[in-house]
A and B are shown apart, each in its own frame.
Chain A
Amino acid sequence: MPFSSVDLLQALAAGILVGSAYALMCVGLGIIFGSMNVINFAQGDFLMLGMYAAFYLTAGYGVLAFLGPYGGPIVAAFLAGPIVFALGWLLHRFVVARVTGAGAAQTEGAGAYGQILVTLGISLILQNGGLILFGSTPVGVRTPLSRQSWEIGDVLLNQARVVSFFVAVALAGGMYLFLSHTRLGKGLRAAADNPQAAIYMGIDVDRAHRIAWSLGVGITAVAGGLVATFQTFQPYVGFDFVIVMYAGVVLGGLGSNFGAFWGGLLIGVVQQMSTLILPYQLQNTAIFVVFLLIIFLRPQGMFGRLSERT
């Protein structure tokens, strides 16, 4: 073996820690993909917005400086959620809703053409708007945690990643409870399963979609805020994560929010483990290979279900 068992454990631990942040962004995307059936190309750019929101709340404007170098970045990551949620709400209200939902179901391909172009357009605007507003110099949210590690045996655990792991797991768990146990959450799932029937049951599908969309981009933005504590970024960073997110969501199984979490986690692990045997540049290729394998072996994903009737 070209690597030791410590390397293996180290890669596995890193994979789980990074994977938890991926898992959270996958949960965000999964809510949108699962309940609106829309491929949102701009999801990565909302993640980027989350990163910059966290950045400006801490380093940039120092609004959260009083929370200290440890608490500030975490609170900032959380606050990125509502900020991006609000932006998502407005975008859905004035743009996205016009090509999705009940109105679009009548057009050819259920409005898929319009949806793809509109989210691509939003992506362009966010990326390039980000370039204008934030500049192209890579930045990061600095916290002392980024440079410190805990040691467990011979395995080093980056503290920023460990903190983000617990935050991500807690938030994903909260989302799970929200979707499965609250009235609003159940409404979202009903609107996803059968929009027509949901309308007849008195559920405002457009409103449900708006909540799903905003919630989805908001959650992903929080994940972005967490990733920002251990990785630098620039306005074009979103694209790197779009692939990770879609791979995670499809792996986990569409329409299954919990599955998206495990899918994202798995992507993180595969990505980190692949560096043991593959050159660094090929770690994303490893993701695609696993992605394609699972898609062919289980098109419904790990936790999804197939429902088609003739």
Chain B
Amino acid sequence: MRTRAEASRQRWAILGFALAILVLSFVVLKSAYYQLVLTQVLLWAVLSLGWNLLSGYSGYFSFGHAGFWGLGAYTVALGMLYFDLTPWVSIPFAALVGAVAGAIIGYPTFRLRGHYFALAMLAYPLATLYVFQWLGYQELALPMKRDAPLLYMQFEDQRLYVVLALGLLVAALLISLKVENSRFGMALLAIKQNEPAAEAAGINTWRWKMLALMLSGAIAAIAGGLYGVVLLVVTPETVFGMALLAIKQNEPAAEAAGINTWRWKMLALMLSGAIAAIAGGLYGVVLLVVTPETVFGMLVSAQALILALFGGVGSLWGPVIGAMLLVPLAEGLNAELGDVLPGIQGVVYGIAIIMIILWAPEGVYWRVLDRLPRRKPAAAEAPPRPTATVVPLPHERRASTGEPLLVLRDIGISFGGLRALDGIDLAIPEGGLYGIIGPNGAGKTTLFNVINGFLAPDRGAISFAGEPITGLRPNQVCRRGIGRTFQVVRAFPRMTVLENVIVGAFVGAPDDATARQMALAALDRVGLSAQSGAIAGGLTTRELRLMELARALVPHPRLMLLDETLAGLAHDDLNGILTVIRQLRADGITVLIIEHTMGAMVQLVDHFTVLDHGRLIASGRPDDVVRDPSVIEAYLGKKWVDRVAVPAK
């Protein structure tokens, strides 16, 4: 999340960029051909920004944004053909179509992850492409509206298209900026870096992903709609297809560089209805009669993704940079080389992409940023390691009601033939520290996963504070007041410590400023304030554990599930964290902790529960439990009893 000043700086940058484009269009570029290239740069940048909004921020790669782009173009074209609809109306409507398509596609597809998601997305535009071909919409030419050119966006002056496309790009940039600076953007980044952790921190991942896809689809559809208007012909291959068509289809236009009348010639030819006939020799004038052989081929709806990846994924300016560099490059290659030796432009373009990506694997923007001297010193300047000074929050203390806070009844879950949990009954009263121990594979973490909703139990019921929570999603469980940490710390490694905790604060906070305040307070509470600006990826194990504690704490949960919070810590670090955990109990938060460090556990907890092979084999006060013969046999071993003859409380 950027600070306010940064966001305002970005807005000025967008304004400056827009002015520069206008100067370029109205003062520098003289020919209509270059205006058309510029229009395409802007439109591709919009598409790429739309893609970036979903894939760059959330990490869900879409190979299918051509689907939205194509729906947009067809909405405009069909609207004009059949309903005489002006693009001024149909383009906004295309946005709606894109958003609805996003919702319909997202609903089933977000069940998939990683490469599966990306490949499934690829299937949508391709399946649609064949359907449109079959329906006979091989090639739709937009009808000429001589009488009302302005109403139908058929400007004689190319520069007006530049202005329109620029307006769209500025809007897309402002939307991206807005998203980046809101909890929406934070949620997406959190999803990208660790989706289960985001879910457990109370982020409704499903909702944010759907929103991102819908917004992203709407932007892509708008860009596609305007694209159709600018180029006047819509074919299934161009809008759904796999090709870098925008580039190739201007090859003819390039020949006409400098001739202001080329566009009108083209329109006249189209009016004559001879599009198919002129496809050969006058290929150039017709634009957009595209066959797979003549275009680059495989470059999917991938154009959106290439531009964003090339420019710098997940950044505001990356897609714009990508479009500014690559679209004119490909265009120029076509104009200069395409006629000399067909295909050579594709080879050069491919080599250029590979060379640059080997130099900057994460995109030009990030690479250049890394090269620039840092404007502000990194906040992680090795701060003194503070002892855990814990700030108690007395008003949070809740009176123990005597009613059990968490009740598990006959919980069972199996993985294949393995009974991970088998008939667990457990009642945890409010207040106090409860330890769960057991050998590896006893089902401890599975128990936590069932409680916080990562796993749905095969049978049994869970209730929390009197309400059933069986089968709720993790973010809903979190919202009801159950926080958790993980056996292996699940941080958002590229976010700062403060941002990591803010993600957890969205649950309880009415607005983003409050979330920030709450996060700062929680960091204070675990004694990690000094590191708040550090990037989480660089923290020590102890700091990571504390950060995760703070993230779980910040929405003020009533129950905390701590999964081996002490694991992997040096003896000195142990005490700091133990202090924090005890303070949680003092504040009235009920704590359920899984731990292997028996010595620490016996001192810490009020109550022990022992699991073995998915069954609950003992439960009671620590000193009773550690003397229980079945516990000794299953877990502690004889040696332990010999060594700690009388466990100290």
A contact residues vs B (CB 8 Å cutoff) = 33, 37, 39, 41, 44-45, 95, 98-99, 104, 107-109, 111-114, 116-118, 120-125, 127-132, 136, 234-236, 238-239, 242-243, 246-247, 250, 254, 279, 281-282, 284-285, 288-289, 291-292, 295-296, 299, 310
Contact = CB atoms under 8 A, between A and B. Distances in A.
Contact of A288 (B123, B344, B362): B123
A278 B350 CA distance: 38
A277 to B, nearest CB: 14
Interface in B333-360: 341-347, 349-351, 353-354, 357-358
A128 B350 contact: yes
Nearest to B445: A310
Interface of B: 59, 61, 108, 111-112, 115-116, 118-120, 122-124, 126-127, 130-131, 133-134, 196, 242, 292-293, 296-300, 302, 305-306, 309-310, 313, 341-347, 349-351, 353-354, 357-358, 361-363, 445, 449, 454, 486, 494
Contacts of A129: 343, 347
In the A-B complex, list the 7 residue pairs whose CB atoms are closest, starting with the nearest. A128-B346, A124-B350, A131-B343, A114-B361, A128-B343, A125-B350, A288-B127
Given A113-B363, A124-B298, A132 B358 contact: no
Given A124-B299, A128-B343, A242-B298, 10 more contacts: A112-B61, A120-B298, A123-B298, A123-B299, A124-B298, A124-B346, A124-B350, A239-B242, A246-B122, A299-B112
Contacts of A114: 357-358, 361-362
B512 to A, nearest CB: 25
12 contacts: A116-B305, A117-B309, A121-B350, A128-B350, A239-B298, A243-B126, A250-B116, A282-B134, A284-B127, A292-B123, A296-B112, A299-B112
Contacts of B347: 124-125, 128-129, 132
Of A114, A279, A281, A282, most B-chain CB atoms within 10 Å: A114
A44 B494 CA distance: 36
A122 B350 contact: yes
A234 B354 CA distance: 24
A43 to B, nearest CB: 10
A127 B351 contact: no
Nearest to A125: B350
A99 B115 contact: no
Of B122, B196, B306, most A-chain CB atoms within 10 Å: B122
B378 to A, nearest CB: 18
Given A39-B115, A250-B116, A107 B454 contact: no
A234 B115 CA distance: 29
B108 A296 contact: yes
Given A113-B363, A114-B362, A128 B298 contact: no
A117 B353 contact: yes
A121 B116 CA distance: 22
B309 A284 contact: no
A125 B351 CA distance: 7
A282 B130 contact: yes
A292 B120 contact: yes
A136 B293 contact: yes
Given A107-B361, A125-B346, A127-B298, A120 B306 contact: yes
A282 B123 contact: no
Given A117-B306, A123-B350, A285-B127, A128 B196 contact: no
Of B131, B305, B353, most A-chain CB atoms within 10 Å: B353
Contacts of A33: 115
A295 B342 CA distance: 39
Contacts of A37: 115
Contacts of B112: 295-296, 299
Of B115, B242, B341, B445, most A-chain CB atoms within 10 Å: B115
A95 B126 contact: no
A98 B361 CA distance: 9
Contacts of B343: 127-132, 235
Contacts of A118: 353-354, 357-358
Of B126, B196, B347, most A-chain CB atoms within 10 Å: B347
B309 A113 contact: yes
Contacts of B358: 95, 98-99, 114, 118
A91 to B, nearest CB: 10
Given A121-B353, A122-B354, A243-B126, A127 B361 contact: no
Contact of B298 (A45, A116, A131): A45
A77 to B, nearest CB: 23
B127 A236 contact: no
